[in-house]
Structure 1
Amino acid sequence: MENFVLILLAIVIGYIINRLNIFSKDAPTILNQFAIYISLPAMILLQIPKLSFSIDMIIPIIVAWIVMFISAILILVLSKFFSFSKEITGSLMLVSILTNSSFLGIPIINAYMGESAMPYVLVYDQLGTFIALATYGTFIASYYSNKNKITFKIMTLKVLTFPPFLSLIVALFLIGVEFNPVITKVLSSFASTIVPVALVAVGLQLQLRLPREEIKPFSVALIVKLIIAPLIAFIICKIFAWDNQASIVSIMEAGMAPMITAGAIASMAGLAPRLSTAIVGYGIIISFITTGFLFKIIS
């Protein structure tokens, strides 16, 4: 219960601070950078070495990529069916596909499943969502905005220089290693900051205005992201007869709210900024309800 109180309180605090203009406009960026450069790498180094090499470790990766691939095809078909503009299609190709697997996934799944589920959350996030953000996300933003030229070299550098990814590579070599208690305590202290810091940043960026003319693409985006995506994940796990903690984490991650960074990229690329922001903002709020129902169904 205390985890949900923390999640909601942190987001509300961020939202109130934003409304009162207490922090500078750069505050969300600074908090996100702290979470990405310090908190998340610490959690990865703390949790990933607890994993053991098995099929369970591969499940989140397989589910993440299949869900994103099918969701992207579905968005393209629906965008053509509803005759959405190129800008709106580009926006949906980002915010409907990329999931908030870390900043919301970590606290929500920890609340439902406990710390033992964290290694699978981090595998889903780093080897699924993050690599997709750096490669697929960069390509989509460039293709639909026609603003920047994208190359394989640029995408590779984005992946290889991302601190959490570098931490993941190091952590994979440390699987089975037991850290000194001092190191464990230091990593735990830094890792524990990810939830309040990241969620206050979420609250600071929360925008709740919904343009009437964009209700249709808004609805399509959230139906695909919050309902169809976890359904795809569920079907994948049933087909392969995966029924364990890794599969439950994968289904839950697939049903998380749209990624905040994906919305930011869409906005910066000029891909329906108001729509992108509304989908992310409302998606976060609605996801608290949908993930609750989802966990009850799959558990």
Structure 2
Amino acid sequence: MENFILIILAMSIGYIINRLNIFSKDAPMILNQFLIYISLPAMILLQIPKLDISIEAIIPIIISWTVMTLSAVIILFLSKIFNFSKEVTGCLMLVAVLGNTSFIGIPIITSYMGESSIPYILVYDQLGNFIALAIYGTFIASFYSSNSKVTFRLITFKVLTFPPFIALMVGLLLIGTEFNQVTIKVLSAFSSTIVPLALVAVGLQLQLKLQKEEIKPFSIALIVKLFIAPIIAIIICKTFDWYNTASIVSIMEAAMPTMITAGAIASMAGLAPKLSSAIVGYGTIISLFTTGIFYTLIK
């Protein structure tokens, strides 16, 4: 219960601070940079060496890519059925496919499953969602927006120089290694900042405005992201008879709301900016309840 109080309180603080203009407009970006360059790499280095190399470690990767692929296919199909514009389709291809599997996934899933779930959360996020953001996200933004400045030129460079990804590679090389107490305390101190700072940053970026004409694509995006995606993950686990920590974490990760960065890319590319912001905002709030429903069903 205390974890959910923290989630709601931290997000509320961020939202109120934003509404009152207490912080500068750059505050969300600064917080996110601290999280990406310091907090998340520290958590990865602390947790990934604890991972056992087995089929369990591969499950989050399989589910992540399968869920994203099928979600994209479903969005394409529904966009044609409802005759959405190119801009709206591009927006949905980003915000209904890519999930907030780290900054929202970590506090929500650990509140249900404890810290033992973190290595699998990080594998799902870094080897699934992040790589998809860099490659798939860049392609969608470029393809659907004639004004987009995003190109393929630096995709490989971005992936290989992304601090959490570098930390993941180092962590995988250190599997089975036991750090000394000083290293553990330092990494723990930095990694402990990820939950409160990430949630405040989410609150700072919440946008809840929605136009009437956007209700249909808005509803489809939330249904696919918050309901169909985790159902796909459940079907995969049932098909292969996977029932372990890795599979439960993967289902919960599939149920996470839209990645804020995906919404930002949609806005930057001119792909229905107000719609993408509303999906991110409302999806984050609604996910606090839908993830609880799915955890109750699968635990």
TM band (smaller chain): over 0.9
Asked if residue 207 in structure 1 is aligned to residue 207 in structure 2, the reply is: yes
> What is the deviation of 1:149?
6.0
Q: How far off its partner does 1:150 sit?
A: 2.5
How many angstroms apart in 1 are the aligned matches of 2:263 and 2:208?
14
Q: Secondary structure at the match of 1:53?
A: coil
Assess if the C-alpha contact under 8 Å between 2:160 and 2:166 holds in 1. yes
The Cα shift of 1:210 comes to 1.1
Separation in structure 2 between the aligned mates of residue 280 and residue 80 of structure 1, nearest angstrom: 23
Q: Distance in 1 between matches of 2:209 and 2:126?
A: 31
Aligned length: 298
Moved more, 126-135 or 140-149: 140-149
Work out whether residues 100 and 260 of structure 2, in 8 Å CA contact, stay in contact via their aligned partners in 1.
yes
Verify the 8 A CA contact 2:141 2:150 in the aligned structure 1: no
Is 2:126 the counterpart of 1:148? no
Whether the 8 Å contact between 2:138 and 2:150 is mirrored in structure 1 is no
Q: Considering only aligned residues, what root-mean-square deviation do their CA atoms show, in Å?
A: 0.7
Could you tell me the percent identity over the aligned residues?
72
1:132-211 alignment runs, 5 A limit: 132-146=132-146, 147-148=148-149, 150-151=151-152, 153-211=153-211
**Deviation digits for residues 106-137 of structure 1, max 9, x if unmatched?**
00000000000000000000000000001100
Tell me how far apart the structure 2 counterparts of residues 215 and 163 of structure 1 sit (CA, whole Å): 37
SS in structure 2 of the partner of residue 185 of structure 1:
helix
Q: Which residue of 1 aligns with 2:234?
A: 234
User: Is it true that 1:284 corresponds to 2:284 in the alignment?
Assistant: yes
CA distance in 2 between counterparts of 1:149 and 1:38 reads 26
What secondary structure is seen at the aligned counterpart in 1 of 2:154?
helix
Q: CA deviation at 1:148?
A: 3.1
**Corresponding residue of 1:12:** 12
Measure, in 2, the Cα distance between the counterparts of 1:211 and 1:191. 39
The 2-side partners of 1:9 and 1:189 are apart by 21
Task: List gaps (5 residues or longer) in structure 1.
Answer: none
- Large movers: runs of 4+ above 2 Å: 146-151
TM (norm. structure 1) is: 0.99
Alignment of 1:1-299 (within 5 A): 1-146=1-146, 147-148=148-149, 150-151=151-152, 153-299=153-299
Q: Distance in 2 between matches of 1:60 and 1:270?
A: 32
List alignment gaps of at least 5 residues for structure 2: none
CA apart distance, 1:265: 0.6
State the TM-score, normalizing by the size of structure 2.
Answer: 0.99
SS of the aligned residue for 2:210 comes to coil
State the alpha-carbon separation in 1 of the partners of residues 195 and 165 from structure 2.
19
